[in-house]
């Protein structure tokens, strides 16, 4: 016999307490507990009863059939790249982004471009059928193989899934899911956990690919308990860069790399893939390059992107220097500035440092350190980096230039975009500076400055 009991659940992390607390002991959030009622049965919940009826499944690993057809193309090359080469059957993908960035547009293009013979189901809990049809017509999509379900009730959704058994499903969005088993209010932690668990279990049993669309909070993280990100196989973030460029990146992927980027541009007829991203982040100038600008080949996933680093130094106000950088980790900027100050006697302790990446791209790889150092040196001394020159390498605290991965590919990609000179590290990280055609190899930060600026360390 079931009986009711009251629990208080944290809206941020899902932690539960038998009584209300002002501060969550798990995540530290204030005033995040909300009252919820749950049914407890002496015989267990319906979910547990359903699980006990299922027979145990045990099989030798070498007998599992994993064919090539287990992964299929989404029809969108940039999305396939981020997913690790295509969509895995039986997988669950969580995609989050800010309102209006194009999540629903991307998902509509996904279900409309599925492989022939693949039945797709688009579930919408936020829009009506007429609104979705209008978007489909505006995008010029062939939605003849797409089924549409405008529903937020989990029981009805599961009934349709078991009846139609589609191979590709989109749920837009998970915040609208509601089930009587998890309470009366949609969007709560219990609703999200229970609803996503049921949908993901169905997808794995039927070998169907399931895409879950989620909102993000004002801090930029996916709304809902963190446990949802642990339940799915892949977590994607849809970000907006400068110039209207849309970037899809992965923070978790059980079937591929998390270093790949998917690049899109939003047009009147939907999202368009960026075919040649090599120079999309570069600023083409007709005249001379101003001081503080450095071009760098950045290795992202399986391709090289040329980006422009911009640095600016101004006298600190109030005698306390600060670093302003939201595209590159401020700690890395401070470390590179300290290396320049120690080994080149270039003073940064009385300067405010501003660092930006043209195009709004966030960079975390170590190959950006030498270009960052040269941009800071150029900004501090007022000497511009010569046009047609690019730099790549890692900088150690001892002032040494260390090699990074795929240096040959970085150099070739830069040459294809018109950069005749390349300054990079020695393959062993030792030895004196030497030149090989348009490539200059250096071992220390001082050698890099001499090779680029044709001068020694300055002392402004």
Express each pLDDT in 110-119 by its tens digit: 999 887 778 8
Enumerate the β-bridge partners of residue 41. 2
Q: Are residues 12 and 137 in the same domain?
A: no
Q: How far apart are CA 457 and CA 451, in angstroms?
A: 12
Average pLDDT over every residue of 236-261: 87
User: Of 51-60, 164-173, 356-365, 440-449, which gets the smallest average pLDDT?
Assistant: 51-60
Supply the pLDDT for residue 52: 40
Q: Are residue 83 and residue 158 in the same domain, yes or no? A: yes
Nearest CA to 122 out of 82, 75, 160 is that of 160
Per-residue pLDDT band for 429 (boundaries 50, 70, 90) equals very low
Residue 52 located in a structural domain: no
Based on the domain organization, do 299 and 415 belong to the same domain?
yes
Are 184 and 300 in the same domain? no
Q: Is 387 annotated as a binding residue?
A: no
- pLDDT value for 278: 65
pLDDT of residue 452: 93
CA 435, 441, 442, 445 dihedral sign is: positive
Determine the Cα angle at 16 with ends 10 and 21, to 5°.
65
Q: Could you report the per-residue pLDDT of 148-159, keeping only the tens digit for each?
A: 999 999 999 999
460: in domain: no
Query: Does residue 409 lie within any of the structural domains?
Result: yes
CATH of the domain at 180: 3.40.50.300
Residues 180 and 250 in one domain: yes
The domain boundary, picked from 273, 302, 327, lies at 273
382 is in an annotated binding site: no
Q: Token pair for residue 434?
A: 């030497």
7/98 same-domain check = no
Range of the domain at 91: 69-273
The answer to whether residue 57 is domain-embedded is: no
275-318 confidence digits (pLDDT tens): 777 667 888 777 889 999 999 999 887 788 899 999 999 999 87
How far is Cα 278 from Cα 276, in angstroms, rounded to an integer? 6
Residue 170, pLDDT score:
96
* Residue 61 resides in a domain: no
Please calculate the CA angle 403-450-332 and round it to the nearest 5 degrees: 50
Task: Copy the structure tokens of residue 357.
Answer: 């990446």
Mean pLDDT along residues 245-269: 90
What's the mean pLDDT in 386-413?
A: 92
Task: Specify the pLDDT at position 345.
Answer: 92
Confidence at residue 29, expressed as pLDDT on a 0 to 100 scale: 80
The percent of residues in the chain predicted with pLDDT above 90, rounded, is 52
334: CATH: 3.30.230.10
**Mean pLDDT along residues 229-252:** 88
Domain end position, chosen among 242, 273, 304: 273
Nearest 5 degrees, angle CA 21-CA 22-CA 28? 100
Q: Which percentage of the chain shows pLDDT scores above 70?
A: 89
User: 232 and 189, same structural domain?
Assistant: yes
124 shares a domain with 238: yes
Domain for residue 62, yes or no? no
Kind of pairing, strands 270-273 and 261-267?
antiparallel
What integer best gives the mean pLDDT of the chain? 85
Taking only the tens place, the pLDDT of each residue in 11-36 is: 767 788 888 999 988 878 888 887 87
Cβ-contact 111, 290 below 8 angstroms: no
Domain co-membership, 438 together with 360: yes
Q: What is the 3-state secondary structure (H, E, C) of the chain?
A: CEEEEEEEEECCCCCEECCCCCECCCCCCECCEEEEEEEEECCCCHHHHHHHHCCCCCCCHHHCCCCHHHEECCCCHHHHHHHCCCEECCCEEEEEECCCCCHHHHHHHHHHCCCCCCCEEEEECCCCHHHHHHHHHHHCCCCCCEEEEECCEHHHHHHHHHHHCCCEEEEECHHHCECHHHCCCCCCHHHHHHHHHHHHHHHHHHCCEEEEEECECCCCCECCCCHHHHHCCEEEEEEECHHHEEEEEEEEECCCCCCCEEEEEEECCEEEECCCCCCCECCCCCCCCCCCEEEEEEEECCEEEEEEEEEEEEECHHHCCCEECCCCCHHHHHHHHHHHHHHHCCCCCCEEEEEEECCCCCCCCHHHHHHHHHHHHHHHHCCCCCCCEEECCEECCCCEEECCCCHHHHHHHHHHCCCCEEEEECCCCCCCCEEECCEEEECEHHHHHHHHHCCCCCCC
- The model's pLDDT over 81-100, given as tens digits with 9 standing for 90+, comes to 999 999 999 999 999 988 88
Do 131 and 222 lie in one domain? The reply is: yes
64 found inside a domain: no
CB 236, CB 248: distance < 8 Å: yes
* pLDDT score at 57: 60
Apex CA 388: angle with CA 387 and CA 389, to 5°? 95
Domain boundary among the residues 241, 273, 305 is at 273
57 marked as binding residue: no
| One domain for residues 351 and 226 | no
209-232 average pLDDT score:
85
Question: Is 278 part of a structural domain of the chain?
Answer: no
Report whether 97 belongs to an annotated binding site: yes
Residue 256 above 60 pLDDT? yes
98 assigned binding-site residue: yes
459: pLDDT strictly greater than 60: no
Q: Is 18 exposed, middle or buried (0-12, 13-18, 19+ CB in 10 A)?
A: exposed
Split into its structural domains, the chain has a count of: 3
Amino acid 434: pLDDT: 55
| Dihedral sign of CA atoms 287, 288, 294, 299 in order | positive
Same domain? For 323 and 357 the reply is yes
Residue 118: per-residue pLDDT: 84
């Amino acid at each position: 016999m079931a009986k009711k009991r009251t629990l208080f659940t944290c809206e941020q992390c899902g932690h539960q307490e038998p009584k209300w607390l002002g501060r969550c002991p798990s995540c530290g959030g204030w005033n995040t507990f909300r009252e919820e009622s749950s049914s407890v049965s002496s015989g267990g919940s319906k979910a547990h009863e359903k699980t006990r009826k299922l027979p145990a499944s045990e099989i030798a690993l070498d007998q599992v059939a994993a064919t090539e057809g287990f992964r299929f193309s989404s029809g969108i090359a940039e999305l396939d790249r981020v997913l690790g080469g295509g969509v895995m059957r039986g997988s669950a993908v969580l995609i989050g982004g800010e309102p209006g960035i194009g999540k629903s547009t991307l998902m509509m293009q996904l279900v409309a471009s599925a492989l022939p013979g693949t039945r797709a189901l688009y579930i919408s809990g936020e829009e009506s059928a007429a609104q979705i049809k209008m978007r489909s017509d505006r995008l010029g999509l062939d939605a003849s193989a797409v089924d549409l379900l405008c529903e937020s009730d989990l029981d009805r959704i599961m009934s349709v899934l078991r009846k139609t058994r589609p191979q590709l499903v989109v749920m837009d969005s998970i915040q609208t899911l509601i089930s009587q088993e998890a309470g009366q209010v949609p969007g709560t932690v219990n609703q999200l956990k229970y609803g996503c668990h049921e949908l993901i279990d169905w997808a794995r049993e039927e070998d169907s690919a399931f895409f879950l669309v989620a909102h993000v909070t004002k801090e930029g993280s996916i709304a809902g308990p963190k446990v949802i990100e642990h339940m799915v196989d892949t977590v994607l973030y849809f970000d907006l860069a400068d110039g209207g460029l849309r970037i899809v990146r992965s923070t978790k992927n059980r079937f591929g790399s998390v270093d790949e980027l998917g690049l899109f541009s939003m047009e009147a007829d939907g999202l368009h893939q960026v075919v040649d991203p090599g120079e999309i982040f570069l600023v083409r100038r007709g005249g001379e390059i101003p001081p503080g600008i450095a071009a760098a080949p950045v290795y992202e996933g399986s391709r090289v992107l040329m980006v422009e680093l911009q640095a600016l130094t101004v006298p600190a106000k109030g005698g306390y220097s600060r670093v302003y950088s939201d595209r590159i980790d401020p700690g890395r900027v401070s470390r590179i500035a300290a290396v320049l100050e120690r080994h080149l006697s270039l003073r940064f302790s009385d300067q405010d440092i501003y660092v930006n990446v043209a195009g709004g791209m966030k960079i975390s790889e170590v190959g950006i350190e030498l270009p960052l150092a040269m941009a800071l040196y150029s900004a501090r001394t007022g000497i511009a980096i010569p046009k047609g020159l690019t730099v790549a390498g890692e900088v150690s605290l001892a002032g040494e230039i260390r090699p990074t991965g795929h240096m040959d590919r970085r150099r070739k990609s830069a040459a294809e975009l018109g950069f005749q000179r390349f300054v990079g590290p020695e393959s062993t990280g030792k030895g004196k500076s030497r030149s090989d055609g348009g490539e200059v190899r250096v071992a220390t930060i001082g050698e890099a400055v001499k090779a680029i600026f044709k001068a020694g360390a300055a002392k402004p």
